[in-house]
């Protein structure tokens, strides 16, 4: 846990600088019509879940280079997320992937998380890896499999994941299916999709009344010819057929290059079907790069639609999560950078002059519309984020504090150099 006195001491010198920067920005924004206190309140309430598989080092099929001090258990993963949350006051939720992280004693795990100020976000099922004692293999699919026994095994797993989630206080199940084909002719597309829909309907029927089923899509990987749920249209089709508790989940890395993701967001929200978000950044595919590191403007445009959609549609509040596995960076540093990028895009979207934008659209004035978006995107909102953290007792600059307090060195000395986390 972070010692609050040490935290305060470490940033004492920076406080005066922050004040100058914040007062200047707040003054500027107020003059141009923004409600700065309202924005800070919205930022304070914005929490991005950390997935339990993101605290360890990932790898590729060509190898893995561990970073040291990785959490060896769910308890240590919770401690790591707690640490992030203590630093940024924005990572107050954890999302479990089962069976990578099965809570043996749910009450104790829930209490431990609460000690760190954390709640449990959506639980994720895993039918893309075979489990040691499972009678059936998912090599040729899970919910779409031609064999009803395999489908039943996958359905039972999803129900068990819901049970775990209920014991932890989660309110949603995220289903990502690795089902698909790598060879033309291998699958009957229509039959694979209708088997999937029927299997999802069984899982849907098992959901508690206040739960949601979030359906993720992905165009390729692990299969390279077809995926059963390749795109948002198929995901929304399934969600619409299943019922109001089923919604689509957008993972930024699950789009082909140049896809207009912000438009997908807008349409899903218009249909009240945007249930969740997995953040990452990518150059080529599902690259799991740091959020906002390559395409910050796209991230801003996405948040522009999210903010607009949250005000203008009846879409329920989506579940936010980072979905990335880190190969080179210290995972905790990467997560701090990712959360900061998400909050930056959110804050920039909050300062867009929406009335003027609507007028520009009505007047068919693309120059003015572009100018309005650029004004917001080019505003350095970092003092707003720092102010929000300061007011919540967190760090002015989480990454600098993380390094100053030598957190990773301490984790390595407690846990060892060669620990390995469950996950990817």
Interaction site with Mn ion (CB under 5 A): 251, 278, 323
Partner whose binding site includes residue 334, from ligand PSV, Mn ion, none (CB under 5 to 8 Å by kind): none
Partner whose binding site includes residue 127, from ligand PSV, Mn ion, none (CB under 5 to 8 Å by kind): none
Cβ 219 vs Cβ 230: under 8 Å: yes
* C-beta closer to Mn ion: residue 264 or 386: 264
Burial class (CB in 10 A: 0-12, 13-18, 19+), 166: middle
* Smallest distance, ligand PSV to C-beta of residue 95, A: 9
**Residue 302 belongs to what H/E stretch?**
helix 296-312
Residue with the CB atom nearest ligand PSV in the bound state? 176
User: If you ran DSSP here, which 8-state letter would residue 63 be given?
Assistant: B
Dihedral sign of CA atoms 74, 282, 269, 229 in order: negative
* Smallest distance, ligand PSV to C-beta of residue 71, A: 17
For residue 340, the tally of other CB atoms under 10 A from its CB is 22
- Interface residues toward ligand PSV, by CB under 6 A: 97, 124, 176, 216, 218, 251, 278, 286, 323, 424
Partner whose binding site includes residue 124, from Mn ion, ligand PSV, none (CB under 5 to 8 Å by kind): ligand PSV
Partner whose binding site includes residue 121, from ligand PSV, Mn ion, none (CB under 5 to 8 Å by kind): none
* Smallest distance, ligand PSV to C-beta of residue 351, A: 30
Partner whose binding site includes residue 217, from ligand PSV, Mn ion, none (CB under 5 to 8 Å by kind): none
* C-beta closer to ligand PSV: residue 295 or 368: 295
* Smallest distance, ligand PSV to C-beta of residue 195, A: 21
Q: How far apart are CA 336 and CA 90, in angstroms?
A: 10
Partner whose binding site includes residue 424, from ligand PSV, Mn ion, none (CB under 5 to 8 Å by kind): ligand PSV
Closest to 329 (Cα-Cα) out of 286, 278, 290, 368:
290
* C-beta closer to ligand PSV: residue 97 or 116: 97
* Smallest distance, ligand PSV to C-beta of residue 27, A: 42
* C-beta closer to ligand PSV: residue 249 or 385: 249
* C-beta closer to Mn ion: residue 175 or 242: 175
* Smallest distance, Mn ion to C-beta of residue 176, A: 6
Partner whose binding site includes residue 286, from Mn ion, ligand PSV, none (CB under 5 to 8 Å by kind): ligand PSV
* C-beta closer to Mn ion: residue 171 or 368: 171
Tell me the two tokens of residue 301. 């445009």
For residue 353, the tally of other CB atoms under 10 A from its CB is 17
- Gyration radius from the chain CA atoms: 22
> Chain-centre distance of CA 86, in angstroms?
19
Give the three-class secondary structure for 67: coil
* Smallest distance, ligand PSV to C-beta of residue 100, A: 9
Beta partners for residue 326, in sequence order: 57
* C-beta closer to Mn ion: residue 116 or 278: 278
Q: How far apart are CA 40 and CA 367, in angstroms?
A: 30
Torsion of CA 259, 263, 266, 268, to 10 degrees: -50
* Smallest distance, ligand PSV to C-beta of residue 280, A: 8
Q: Are strands 246-251 and 274-279 parallel, antiparallel or unpaired?
A: parallel
**Residue 279 belongs to what H/E stretch?**
strand 274-279
* Smallest distance, ligand PSV to C-beta of residue 128, A: 7
Dihedral sign of CA atoms 219, 235, 304, 18 in order: negative
* C-beta closer to ligand PSV: residue 399 or 424: 424
Place of tokens 């819901």: 162
Partner whose binding site includes residue 245, from Mn ion, ligand PSV, none (CB under 5 to 8 Å by kind): none
Partner whose binding site includes residue 151, from ligand PSV, Mn ion, none (CB under 5 to 8 Å by kind): none
* C-beta closer to Mn ion: residue 101 or 323: 323
* Smallest distance, ligand PSV to C-beta of residue 283, A: 16
- The set of residues, in sequence order, having a beta carbon less than 8 Å from that of 260 and lying 6+ positions away, is none
Sheet holding 123-125, edge to edge: 97-98, 123-125, 172-175, 212-216, 246-251, 274-279, 319-322
CA angle 88, 413, 116 (to 5 degrees): 30
Tell me the two tokens of residue 390. 């300061």
* C-beta closer to Mn ion: residue 223 or 402: 223
């Amino acid at each position: 846990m972070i010692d609050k006195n040490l935290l305060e001491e470490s940033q004492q010198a920076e406080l005066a600088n922050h004040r100058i920067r914040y007062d200047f920005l707040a003054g500027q924004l107020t003059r141009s019509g923004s409600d700065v206190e309202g924005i800070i309140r919205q930022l304070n309430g914005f929490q991005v879940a950390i997935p339990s598989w993101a605290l360890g080092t990932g790898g590729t099929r060509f190898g893995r280079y561990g970073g040291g001090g990785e959490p060896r258990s769910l308890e240590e993963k919770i401690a790591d997320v707690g640490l992030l949350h203590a630093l940024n006051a924005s990572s107050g939720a954890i999302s479990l992937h089962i069976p990578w992280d099965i809570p043996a004693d749910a009450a104790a795990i829930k209490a431990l998380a609460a000690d760190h100020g954390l709640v449990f976000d959506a639980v994720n099922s895993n039918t893309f890896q075979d489990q040691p004692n499972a009678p059936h293999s998912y090599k040729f699919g899970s919910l779409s499999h031609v064999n009803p026994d395999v489908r039943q095994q996958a359905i039972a797993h999803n129900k068990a994941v819901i049970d775990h989630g209920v014991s932890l206080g989660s309110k949603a199940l995220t289903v990502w299916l690795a089902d698909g084909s790598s060879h033309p002719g291998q699958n009957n597309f229509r039959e694979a999709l209708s088997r999937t829909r029927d299997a999802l309907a069984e899982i849907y029927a098992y959901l508690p009344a206040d739960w949601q089923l979030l359906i993720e899509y992905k165009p390729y990987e692990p299969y390279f010819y077809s995926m059963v749920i390749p795109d948002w249209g198929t995901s929304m089709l399934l969600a619409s057929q299943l019922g109001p508790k089923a919604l689509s989940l957008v993972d930024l890395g699950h789009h082909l290059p140049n896809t207009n993701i912000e438009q997908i967001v807008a349409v899903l929200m218009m249909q009240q079907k945007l249930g969740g978000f997995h953040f990452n950044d990518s150059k080529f595919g599902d690259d799991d790069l740091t959020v906002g590191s390559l395409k910050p403007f796209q991230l801003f445009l996405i948040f522009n639609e999210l903010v607009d959609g949250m005000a203008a549609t009846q879409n329920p509040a989506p579940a936010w999560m980072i979905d990335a596995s880190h190969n080179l960076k210290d995972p905790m540093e990467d997560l701090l950078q990712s959360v900061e990028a998400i909050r930056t895009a959110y804050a920039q979207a909050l300062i867009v002059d929406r009335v003027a934008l609507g007028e520009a659209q009505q007047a068919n004035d693309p120059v003015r519309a572009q100018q309005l978006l650029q004004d917001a995107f080019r505003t350095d909102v970092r003092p707003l984020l720092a102010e929000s953290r300061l007011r919540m007792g967190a760090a002015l600059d989480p990454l600098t504090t993380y390094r100053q307090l030598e957190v990773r060195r301490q984790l390595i000395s407690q846990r060892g150099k060669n620990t390995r986390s469950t996950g990817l």
